[in-house]
Structure 1
């Protein structure tokens, strides 16, 4: 079963084609602050770049299809020399039967329940072909022109609805979507699994299995998330009453609601209501304090409690004790910690309510989660948007310098030489996927990094070698000198041609918006220095 336009129901929506245009623009094409007045589809035919819809940034490339609801604000910037797209705008007519007669009114809404953003579809090329055929019909002058274009529009929307994909690329099941619409509409009431399964036309066990496969969670957990998300909106409103919020989202018991809310978000709803006024501390080696700074909030205390196996344990314990004392004196209302600080959870919790964020390879997930805890989600989206445009600018600046040359990253510690791999990691994704730089294959693609003693490093077969000096202590300098005496170092193309450069701790910087901006700046500085001083890196042979 698929989404249908219910032409015989008491109230029906009929989409009509308003206009279509094919837009082709050249180098440095940009759009700033345009607002959509009608429901639209945007298909990218050629080129790539950044498309920002209501402050949410997307990567736009050939074949990408986007839904634009009325009121959507658009910003865009092209990376390619030529950008081409088809824009299709619609009017939605509502037909309502009143006392046996049909009345027609216009509606600004999209004819189907699709949210603004990227629309993933199976058979992408067929979708492109259908849109191009509709455009050719729209431009034509055939006698049945009017009937043909609206018929093709309905067929196109039906095709897209039948082939929509979830974020995990599973096919959208309209039966499950109907049950989700029911959840949204009646979340304030009691909803049973049997009801939802009946709406989807499945047995309860089949419904539960299908739902979990499509959405990655059980129907009960999904309903709970919908309720908590609605509660979050209400809790930010002035003069809201906790008991009333609990009832309005389907939790008759205020205490049960508070327990479910805290299980989901990590903080009680009473704390969430004043989240933008909290005194916040961090316990993190992943730069959570810098995430807060990017959101315009200065932490009252910063704890970095993870022990370094290469440093003196006694001195580290003293430093940790000192940081805990400072944390107590700061009297925070909330402590946000990374998963490395789970062993300290009980100690942290004795000072203030503590949330330990789960491990993830997605730095954006961390940033938006921190933003939500302190009431600065909009600033997080603005940070993402700024970074996307800055990244596009940097990729254009870096391409003439790096081209197809190979890049390798190294860290020098007091004991080891660490070579960065190409496994799943935010830094690798930034350098090689987002900026399009080419990695040197010095370690296994499945590894994030490998460690070596100084005199047994592999051949540094790379055109550019970027080195982070984790320590400037004499023992670290000794490790560095020993490495520079090896044949693997002296035969490296990067060393021979002077393309060896010092960098900051990119492993850490890549987890925050400000850190990623610093990485982009350092890469551009390396490019500029190599133009001014060809064959002379920052580190001598």
Structure 2
């Protein structure tokens, strides 16, 4: 029981657990609940969708807690294949001077709604502890625990929720200084800004301000300020009457030549070039699917070539392919060539065809994608594509979690030289499979390695339920390497092989570099898991 006082008036609050239930809904797209006679806490363990409380809507997501007030019309729209949740019904009582009067040692309290809980989603700093408490409480209801024991556990849960919720509020308060600094930078980026002064506005030392700013925004204060200026400059450059000197001065640069250098460095093309970007003839020279990336935000390249010499290509064959591709590039007469890191050696030759070439070297697919969009003035369209992909990934993650049931996978690439066992990080494909989609990686002796390359006879023991294999450079002899691998004891003793769970995949490594390719990978994964043997789903 909580007792608080204000102006001499005592306020008493107490909550009692009525029931706790675990529920899993499969292939149900809509859930409707009658108006609850008691208040409810709903903890979603997995699944995505939308929750409607009266006319208010909030997103449903895994590892989130929601407060459902009694007497409200509540329904949920589920976009995942299944959703798992815990429902805790409780009654809340409160009383003040008018409602609670002492009669000896007794209090008279009235049923009420908890004022400290927000309707809908309860933003918590961490939810793992909350889930553990809920599980303990649920397990206790199935034992011979006495009622008082259950109520004590429930009070611990409520205290935990309050602590995590208040910690989140404190953290939000700590961020207010950074928010003030950001607002100041947005309002004054056209003037000369001193970071010491901005740190004072945030009420932080310069070092603390820089550290917390980067933790909050992902960028240093200088990087953030430069981005504000460059974004404003791009907007001004689209206006015909603005000269480069005018734009430079308008975004906080006294020297237009310094501005031009900064613009070229951050955007990828000079400001004089950017102002006619919508009329540019753009060509792609890449082994990675940059053409797909451009198409996803509405840019059709005038030419798309790949000048990389793949293993297995004879000299004369490559010369013919190169001559044909180069002729296509020259015939297109592009204003701009966008290329990948496989085409760095052609940088000087590109200058003889196009006034500007931009070769993207970042190992992050999304950074390259956003840079392409920025160069072409299509950042808004690109962000829309990134957001659509994120929603698709979230829905697929829940589906795959239900279908795979914790089963593990390993990705192998067979080349003409060796076997490559893909790690769980540092590649767009690894980040998609094991990060964003939450699939469980198989275990090897060096599971933390970015990639393990070895001869087939040195294949280590791999603990995995599924093996996804891509055969690369078949013309150069990868089929021989694959046959040698299949003859090893390590391969034959692999659980995935013994259970017949070896799946040949197309070049997901390449496809993972564009939104379109990543969606195709998700489609293929969902098709694969939808037809898995029953043994693969037994843990669901």
Indicate the TM-score class for this superposition, using the shorter chain for normalisation.
0.5 to 0.7
From 330, 337, 343, the equivalent of 1:328 is 330
> Which of the numbers 291, 294, 311 marks the counterpart of 1:292?
294
- 2:293 counterpart of 1:282: no
CA displacement 1:247-284 (0-9 Å, x = unmatched): 32223444443332112111122332332332212233
Equivalent of 1:246 in 245, 248, 263: 248
Rounded to whole Å, the distance in 2 between the matches of 1:296 and 1:461 is: 44
Task: Give 3-state SS (helix, strand or coil) of 1:473's partner.
Answer: helix
Deviation at 1:221, TM superposition (A): 4.0
Corresponding residue number in structure 2 for 1:231 = 233
RMSD: 4.4
Aligned pair partner of 2:362 in 351, 359, 362:
359
**Cα distance in 1, alignment partners of residues 279 and 530 from structure 2:** 43
For the pair 1:520 / 2:522, whether they are aligned, the reply is yes
Q: What CA distance in whole angstroms lies between the structure 2 residues aligned with 1:59 and 1:348?
A: 49
Counterparts of 2:377 and 2:309, CA distance in 1: 32
Aligned to 2:457: 455
Residue 46 (structure 1) aligned with residue 32 (structure 2): no
Matched, 1:501 2:503: yes
Secondary structure at the aligned position of 1:445 is classed as coil
Report the counterpart of residue 184 of structure 2 in structure 1: 182
Per the TM alignment, residue 506 of structure 1 is displaced from its structure 2 partner at its CA by 0.9
- TM-score normalized with structure 2 length: 0.65
CA deviations over 1:22-45 (Å, ceiling 9, x no partner): xx99767889xxxxxxxxxxx995
Specify the SS of the correspondent of 2:190. Answer: coil
Uncovered stretches (5+) of structure 2, i.e. residues with no partner: 1-22, 31-40, 51-58, 67-76, 88-120, 132-163
Hey, what's the Cα distance between the residues in 2 that align with 1:44 and 1:493? 39
Q: For residues 268-319 of structure 1, what are the alpha-carbon distances to aligned partners after superposition, in whole Å with 9 as ceiling and x for unaligned?
A: 2233233233221223332212211222322222343445466546654654
2:370 match:
368
After superposition, the Cα gap between the structure-2 partners of 1:121 and 1:182, relative to the gap in structure 1 and judged at 3 Å, is farther
Does structure 2 retain, via aligned residues, the 8 Å contact 1:294–1:513?
Answer: yes
**Which position in structure 2 is the counterpart of 1:147?**
none
1:405 maps onto 2:380 in alignment:
no
1: CA distance between counterparts of 2:432 and 2:377?
27
Secondary structure at the aligned position of 2:468 is classed as: strand
1:77-129 Cα deviation digits (max 9, x unpaired): 457525799xxxxxxxxxxxxxxxxxxxxxxxxxxxxxxxx99986789999x
Kindly indicate whether the alpha-carbon contact (under 8 Å) linking 1:443 and 1:449 is maintained by their aligned counterparts in 2.
Answer: no
Name which one, 1 or 2, has greater alpha-carbon Rg. 2
Q: Which residue of 2 aligns with 1:164?
A: 172
Which secondary structure does the structure 2 equivalent of 1:81 belong to? Answer: strand
How many residue pairs are counted as aligned between the two chains? 422
Structure 1 pair 484–223 and aligned structure 2 pair: CA distance change class (3 A): closer
2: CA distance between counterparts of 1:158 and 1:460?
45
TM, length-normalised to structure 1: 0.64
Equivalent residues of 1:443, 1:450 under 8 A apart = no
